[in-house]
Chain A
Amino acid sequence: MKAIDEGRAAGDLVMASTSGALGSEEGTRSSIGARGISYTVSERVGPWWDIPSYHKKWTRQILKDVSFYMESGQLMGILGNSGSGKTTLLDAISGRIGNKGTFLGDVYLNGHKLKKDQFQDSFSYVLQNDTLLSYLTVEETLTYTGLLSLQNRSGNTIKKKVDSVMAELSLTHVAKNVIGGRVVNGISSGERRRVSIAAQLLQDPKVILLDEPTTGLDSMTANHIVRLLSDIARNDRIVIISIHQPRSELFTIFDKIAIMSCGELIFCGGHQEMIDFFSSCHYECPEHSNPFDFFVDLTSVDTRSPEREIETYNRVQTLASAYRNTALYQKTLEDIEYAKSTKEKLPVALKNKDAPNAFSKLVMLLRRTTRNLSRNRIGIMMRLSQNLIYGLFVVFFLLKLNNDVLTGAVQDRIGVFYLCLGGTPYTGMLNAAALFPALRAIGDQESKDGLYHTWQMFIAYVVHVFPFSLISVALFSAFLYWIIGLVADIARFGIFSVILLALHLIGEFFTLVVLAVVDNPNIVNAGVTLINISGILVGAGILRSLQEMPQVFQLLSYITYQKYACELLVINEFYDVKFACGAPNSTGPSCLFSDGNEFIEKTYPGANSRFTMDFLMLFAFIPAVIILGIISFKIRDLVAKR
């Protein structure tokens, strides 16, 4: 009861303020107009294996001649069943439909016709799912977004901005709380949604679009969010939201309600106008039912049977043409024309796009990524200890290497190298597959908002990995090297550690490269494991002597990092080292390898002279993989834009 009253009161207030403003400051209000927006895509008819039908294409009209006009201070709700085109309409206005289909029609901002590449900069778009970093606090999240999007302003200005936005969205009481996610508890889902909205408000947009901001929230929170949005609109902004099954209490909150079906705008106007319009078409909303639900159902096409489809489709068409004959629709068109023809137009108000330069963005991203990880206890523990645990595992089985060829001195050493070759890239892969997808999701979204490119996010991630990998590998190699008793020589230990570090980094970065083009981390996991095993088989030369492999594989082995790493590990351990062979002076076929140099010469002919070269090659893989990563993230951006 009370809730409804409040809702009405708020709604009336909005109405009052709008009408008041209309009288006094005509001409200075910003406005958005859309005229005749149509969007069609052509799709292939059949699946790829059915060649004749695959080559046929059919065009599907997703938006059909949509026109509307709004002025600042207004909140519009777009209703419609799933598949009615409401999200596509928002995508189209915000310039996120790419070049897949044909877009017709004009969008006017303050009477200026927008060019297509201006769309993205003119509107803020809040997506349905909240992609936020779980371990940052609300204040930090907003501050970093501010730093990324606003020009090198002083920290003070940004702080003020963040504070005022938090106050506007009543987030001040949770400013110091972490966002939270699946594992850690954080703020509630309604608060999370408000943080997403606040992040967009930082750029001072004049027009804010929101896709289903209430989905997944309970009714109380959903209502609260819509009320907040109506308050935001009253601060001289235009807010357009798509909404699925809104509650009846919200009926009076919207200044404009648009109903879409089959890509057409069936109606757009105020709530009283809506009731009047449908009454004039002889559809009275029955008592005790939600008018939103009733009118949406009335205008939906029921596809369960062909007869029903025809019947309902005809009804929708009748209503749509009835709307086009109303004075309301004519007024919309006139308003757009009027805004176009006014002399004193407001300038096109773009979002604050005076962004900092690429380098300071990179620094900002790096700081944000590190800050986020620094609170993730499990993540840090995983990063630092995974290698060590693996080392414990190996040591547990080996304890101490012996020095006698006859009791497996060579075999066991090769076994250890084999495990290092497989294990360190594997732990790197586990890190990337567990920690990177969350960042990737945010990168995808913020790159669409124009804050930065995803490859910058990739570089930031790559940089923040280094210190952790360094510590983790140092722990692992120190532990392993001295306990199992490889050659006791500090220089050789240093080389050993550095090789393992390279392996670990290549493993992690290569996984990132694959993660850029494949979304599912489980598939990436399996795929990268398979590639690594193949690399060891082909390149390492432990399991198959390199000289005797077929020519193709010999050539292939040059592009595996395992080839260089393994040669280095073997030379590092066996060079100028002599092993015992049973009793002194005993000979036999197995004692051939008691001289380390001979063993090297046998397995990798001429490897001793290649030591420096191998080293350089191995380390060349790191920048190579990073460049590959930048390329594949650019591809990702391109694919997303298409």
Chain B
Amino acid sequence: MRVSRDSLFSSEDDNSLYFTYSGNPNVLEVKELSYQVNLAAQIPWYEKLAELKMPWEWNKGPGSHMLAIENLNVKVSSGQMLAVIGSSGGGKTSLLDILTCKDEGGKIKTGQISINGKLNTPQLVKKCVAHVRQDDRLLPNLTVRETLSFVAKLRLPRTFSEKQREKRVEDVIAELRLRQCANTRVGNVYLRGVSGGERRRVSIGVQLLWNPGILILDEPTSGLDSFTAHNLVTTLSRLARGNRLVVLSIHQPRSDIFQLFDLVLLLSSGTTIYSGAACDMVQYFTSIGYPCPRYSNPADFYVDLTSIDRRSRELEEGCLEKTRTLSARFWDKVKDSSDFLWKSGEGNNVLTTSSEPSPLVTSEKAINVDSHSREEMPRGLQQFCILLRRQVSNDFRDLATLLIHGFEALFMSLLIGFLYYGQGGNKLSIQDTISLLFMKSSIPPFGVVLDVVAKCHSERAMLYHELEDGMYSVTPYFFAKVLGELPEHVSFTILYGVPIYWLADLNPAPENFLLNFLLVWMVVYCSRAMALWVSACLPTLHMSSFFCNALFTIFYLTGGFVISLKNLWAVPYGFSFISFLKYGFEGLMQVQFKGLTYFMTVGNLTIAIPGQLIVEQLEVDSTPLFACYLILMGISAGFLLLYFLSLKFIKQKSSQDW
């Protein structure tokens, strides 16, 4: 009994195609491409600062400009799967960057890339190329089906009916064999959800939904175990059979995966060492004098053969010399052929058959997309509704975070409330009431600011990718984000504000309670808006939280309680005009004291002090009450405007930590 690889892995008897590509066949062609990258420009500015480098030193340093790709020629067409292999630093990532028109600070020296004969531009790429990134950026609390249906709503033309959308989602789930986990949460590192391979397939599904003709995947198998990786590549080859064009980069494929590829492009230090059918690779290298040993994986063997040993200068030079010879030899062999692929013998086999468009077995199952309706994507308002629903359903699933925030609010509220709890019916003294009022509005922002910044940064990468893909625009996202945060904000302030008011026995009139609550609500909202702006504006989590803290401390100090405003000099006094804590404090004081009379005991004397007098003495009536509300509204609107502008003009690239 001999066991072949297939029987070791075969698990799916179901090899049918559920969802094929029905557009015109595509051809992706790369001609004489040379590409230069600037390594120094790829390091973000804040990392350079962290290394204590001065700005004028940034663009210097050896090897900052290097040729990442040299004279590359490839032609792939629909129905084929091309694997780009090679050791790291070989130019795989650069190639995918160029194919997807990502600007990573390099420039094309010569040559061009064309899709169906047209030069590739970001617009063209957006329309027909789907890019699956190495890291999975998905909302963790949505199920697989929900994730896909939200994307279907955003990504499919408006002419689609609800039924057709559902059908499309089901087709994709079937095609990617995700049925058994369709109702499981996606999850992430911290949250248990579907397995790593399934998550990767959901990422592919997100791109597959809009039925692109070309799929480009960056290291799709990294981090997966052997069964899952094999399964994923089988899925990809099935997608290719469904008349799609698949390009993937892969570091070092295992031998079972290697056998699934149609075409292979082996790159080393930017030069082409081999390009042609996967099954011919061993034959090619044998013909030039490098046979693959019996117990050895050809992919491993030849990638090692061409990888650059950087342990010492001499070794590196030797390796570079070797790759140069190898690529020169390859170029000699293929330079006369039309498609620059190496063919064994007369060149009659696999390639020619696979480049024929494969028969559309299940064409009636595929939904035909009319080419003119393709442009009619959902508009702003619709995008907004979908995004809002997506955000709210993601947040409400996240019970743990909700509970933590609720507990935080309740803890602070009860602590402050009981601290100022009047013993034996004693009323709070004036001084204590003033402290309480300031504390009440200034303590919750400490927590809120940190939470908002952390949340925004965890969503940043997804936002960046989805905006890049053109799934939606900034405006609907902005409104969805701002509105989607409101329910949490309202319940947080209720949990926090109400018990304090009741425990500390503040002004008992119901309208005063409402006015007081509204002020606290607005002050906390200002800090939330400020955190949104700062986290959209600065690149890392650390910087955002630091800057946010500093900003909040400024407002805290200029709030009129810690330091009396009269004693501030010009600049900090200027800050006090935008200190939302100051307006909150003044408003709260006016709401509390106006109309009440306080009694103060000095020795045996009891003096009655009208509340109005206190307010005047402390000079917290410089702004009339209604103006406090208006100004607070204005400040939060200002922060939100800044947030909007930052979203619009600052690239939301995520680099979580450093």
Residues of chain A having any CB pair with chain B under 8 Å: 1, 3-4, 81-82, 182-184, 218-220, 224, 245, 247-249, 251, 275, 282-291, 293-294, 296-298, 300, 302, 304-305, 308, 377-378, 393-394, 396-399, 401-402, 407-408, 411-412, 415, 418-419, 522, 526, 529-530, 533-534, 537-538, 542-545, 548-553, 589-590, 592
In the bound complex, CA of A282 to CA of B231 (Å): 25
Which residues in B have their C-beta under 8 angstroms from that of A538? 415, 419
| Interface of A: prevailing SS | helix
A289 and B564 contact, CB distance less than 8 A: no
Given contacts A3-B304, A182-B658, A415-B563, contact A550 B226 (CB under 8 A): no
Contact status A398-B297, CB under 8 Å: no
Chain B CB count within 10 A is highest, among A248, A282, A534, for A248
| B483 on the A face (CB < 8 A) | no
Contact A412/B88 with A290-B297, A297-B9 known, Cβ cut-off 8 Å: no
Interface CB pairs A-B, < 8 A, 25:
A183-B658, A184-B51, A218-B88, A219-B300, A219-B303, A220-B87, A249-B301, A289-B5, A290-B254, A293-B256, A294-B8, A300-B227, A393-B553, A398-B563, A419-B562, A537-B439, A544-B419, A548-B423, A548-B426, A550-B418, A552-B418, A553-B419, A589-B602, A589-B607, A589-B609
Q: Does B387 contact A (CB under 8 A)?
A: no
Q: Which stretch, B29-37, B288-296, B528-536, B637-645, touches the partner chain A?
A: B288-296
Residues in A neighbouring B227, C-beta threshold 8 A = 297, 300, 302, 304
Contacts beyond the supplied A284-B3, A412-B563, A537-B415: 18 A-B pairs with Cβ under 8 Å = A4-B296, A183-B51, A183-B658, A248-B295, A282-B1, A289-B255, A290-B295, A305-B11, A397-B563, A397-B568, A407-B566, A407-B567, A408-B567, A530-B408, A544-B432, A545-B431, A548-B432, A589-B609
Query: How distant is B277 from chain A, measured CB to nearest CB, in Å?
Result: 15
- By a CB distance below 8 angstroms, the chain B residues around A550 are 418-419, 421, 423
- Residues of chain A lying within 8 A (CB to CB) of residue B557: 394, 397, 419
Which B-chain residue is minimally distant from A247 (CB atoms)? B300
Known interface pairs A397-B568, A548-B423, A592-B602; A249-B447 also in contact (CB < 8 Å) = no
Kindly supply a per-residue 1/0 record for chain B positions 406-422, scoring 1 wherever the CB is within 8 Å of any chain A CB and 0 otherwise.
00100110011011110
With contact pairs A297-B226, A298-B3 given, residues A396 and B418 touching in the complex (Cβ less than 8 Å): no
Contact A289 B419 (CB under 8 A): no
* Assembly CA distance A245 to B224 (angstroms): 12
| Minimum distance in angstroms from B640 CB to a CB of chain A | 25
In whole angstroms, what is the CA distance A374 to B276 when docked? Answer: 56
The residue that B8 contacts in the complex, of A288, A297, A377, A411, with Cβ under 8 A, is A297
CB distance from A306 to the nearest CB of B (A): 11
- Complex-state Cα separation, A219 to B408, whole angstroms: 49
Q: Which residues of A contact B602 (CB under 8 A)?
A: 589, 592
Which residues on the B side are within 8 Å of A291 (C-beta)? Answer: 295
The count of residues in chain B whose C-beta lies closer than 8 Å to any C-beta of chain A is 81
- Residues of chain A within 8 A (CB-CB) of B421 are 550
A288-B298 in contact given A297-B256, A544-B420 (Cβ < 8 Å): yes
Q: Residue B450 at the A interface, CB < 8 A?
A: yes
CB pair A418–B11 under 8 Å, yes or no, is no
Please name all residues of chain A whose beta carbon is closer than 8 Å to the beta carbon of B652 when the two chains form the complex: none
Chain B residue with minimal CB distance to A542? Answer: B435
B443 CB-CB contact with A under 8 Å: yes
Point out the residues of chain A lying under 8 angstroms from B225, CB to CB.
81-82
Give the distance in Å from the alpha carbon of A298 to the alpha carbon of B235 in the complex.
Answer: 21
Whole-angstrom distance between the Cβ of A539 and the nearest chain B Cβ: 11
* A304 CA to B51 CA, complexed, in Å: 47
Closest to B562 in A: A415
C-beta contact mask, B225-255 vs A, less than 8 Å → 1, else 0? 1110001000000000000000000001011
The reply to whether B9 and A285 contact each other, CB–CB distance below 8 Å, is no
A412 touches B567 (CB 8 A): yes
Given A289-B255, A589-B600, A397-B572 contact (CB < 8 Å):
yes
Q: Which residues of B contact A418 (CB under 8 A)?
A: 562
| B305 lies within 8 A of A1 (CB) | yes
Give complex CA distance A529, B444 in Å. Answer: 12
Residue of A nearest to B52 (CB): A377
Contact B296 A248 (CB under 8 A): yes
Q: How far is the CA of A331 from the CA of B397 in the complex (A)?
A: 58
Contact check, B304 vs A219: say whether CB atoms are below 8 A apart: yes
B4 at the interface (CB under 8 A from A): yes
**Contact pick for A399, options B307, B423, B569, CB 8 Å:** B569
Q: Name the A residues within 8 Å of B4 (CB-CB).
A: 286
B444–chain A nearest beta-carbon distance, Å: 11
Is B50 part of the contact surface with A, judged by Cβ < 8 Å?
yes
Please name the residue on chain A nearest to B415 by beta carbon: A534
**Chain A residue at minimum C-beta to C-beta distance from B5:** A286
